[in-house]
């Protein structure tokens, strides 16, 4: 999630509501994969939580890499 609240899955811009579908397609080919949410510092925390909740509710391993203030 970047500072303009754009969401990317494997470098492809994705609507926040479609992240689960994109991840599910990827995991169909790579079932042992996990999700790393790496928001930039000014990213909307609500979007991060939405993605986190979707992944957890569907049994997809997920973690968050906290942003640093000076991260670009």
43 neighbors 49 (Cβ within 8 angstroms)? no
Confidence grade of residue 66 (pLDDT, cut at 50, 70, 90): confident
pLDDT at 68 over 60: yes
Cα dihedral across residues 54, 19, 8, 2: positive or negative:
negative
Instruction: Spell out the domain ranges in the chain.
Output: 7-64
Termini Cα distance of the chain: 12
Phi, psi of 13 (to 5 degrees): -65, 135
For 4-62, how does the pLDDT look when each residue is reduced to its tens digit (9 = 90+)?
Answer: 999 999 999 999 999 999 999 999 999 999 999 999 999 999 999 999 999 999 999 99
Q: Tally the C-alpha atoms within 13 A of residue 55's C-alpha that lie toward its C-beta.
A: 22
Write the CB contacts of 52 (distance below 8 Å, at least 6 apart in sequence). 37, 62, 64
């Amino acid at each position: 999630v970047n500072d303009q609240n754009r969401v990317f899955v494997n470098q492809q811009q994705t609507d926040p509501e479609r992240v689960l579908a994109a991840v599910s397609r990827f995991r169909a080919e790579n079932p042992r994969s996990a999700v790393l949410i790496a928001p930039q510092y000014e990213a909307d925390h609500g979007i991060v939580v939405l993605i986190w909740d979707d992944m957890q509710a569907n049994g997809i391993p997920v973690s968050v890499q906290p942003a640093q203030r000076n991260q670009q």
